[in-house]
C-alpha cells in the first residue's frame, strides 16, 4: 500500500496563547455585561448588552468553532444565521414598540399585606 492512498486532512489547531486570550476576553466581556446591568442607561441597556453578546458569540464562533479556517460556504451560512437573528430581533422589537401598553398593577400588590404573606 502506498502513502498516497490516505487523504491528508489539514485541521487547524489554534495556539494555546490565542485560546487563553479569547477566554480572558470572554470573561472580561461577561463582567462588562454584569456591570452594565447595574447602570441605569434607559433604552441603551439592551443595545449595549446585545453588542456585548454579539461580540462574545463572534469570538466563540470565529476562534473556538474554527469558522475562520473553514470554507466560504460555511462562512456564508454563519452570516446568514446572524442576519436571520437580526431580522427576528427587529420583528420582535417592532411588535413590542407598536403595542399600546398601559401599566396594570398586579392584584396581589393591592392587598393589605402589601404583597407579603403573613
Question: pLDDT by residue (tens digit) across 90-111?
Answer: 999 898 888 887 767 666 666 6
Decide if 49 contacts 36 (C-beta within 8 A): yes
Q: Is the pLDDT of residue 4 over 70?
A: no
Distance CA 90, CA 103 (A): 24
Q: In which band, very low, low, confident or very high, does the pLDDT at 82 lie, cut at 50, 70 and 90?
A: confident
Q: Does residue 41 sit in helix, strand or coil?
A: coil
Distance CA 114, CA 105 (A): 12
Q: In which band, very low, low, confident or very high, does the pLDDT at 118 lie, cut at 50, 70 and 90?
A: low
Question: pLDDT by residue (tens digit) across 38-71?
Answer: 988 888 898 999 899 989 998 998 888 888 888 8
Q: Does residue 103 sit in helix, strand or coil?
A: coil
Query: For the chain, what are the domain ranges?
Result: 14-65, 71-99
- Mean pLDDT throughout 3-22? 77
Amino acid at each position: 500500500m502506498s502513502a498516497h492512498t490516505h487523504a491528508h486532512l489539514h485541521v487547524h489547531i489554534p495556539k494555546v496563547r490565542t485560546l487563553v486570550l479569547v477566554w480572558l476576553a470572554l470573561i472580561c466581556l461577561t463582567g462588562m455585561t454584569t456591570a452594565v446591568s447595574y447602570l441605569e442607561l434607559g433604552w441603551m441597556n439592551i443595545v449595549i448588552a446585545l453588542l456585548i453578546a454579539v461580540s462574545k458569540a463572534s469570538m466563540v464562533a470565529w476562534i473556538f468553532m474554527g469558522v475562520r479556517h473553514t470554507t466560504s460556504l460555511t462562512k456564508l451560512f454563519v452570516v446568514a444565521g446572524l442576519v436571520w437573528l437580526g431580522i427576528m430581533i427587529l420583528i420582535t422589537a417592532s411588535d413590542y414598540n407598536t403595542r399600546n401598553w398601559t401599566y396594570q398593577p398586579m392584584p396581589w400588590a393591592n392587598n393589605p399585606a402589601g404583597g407579603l404573606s403573613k
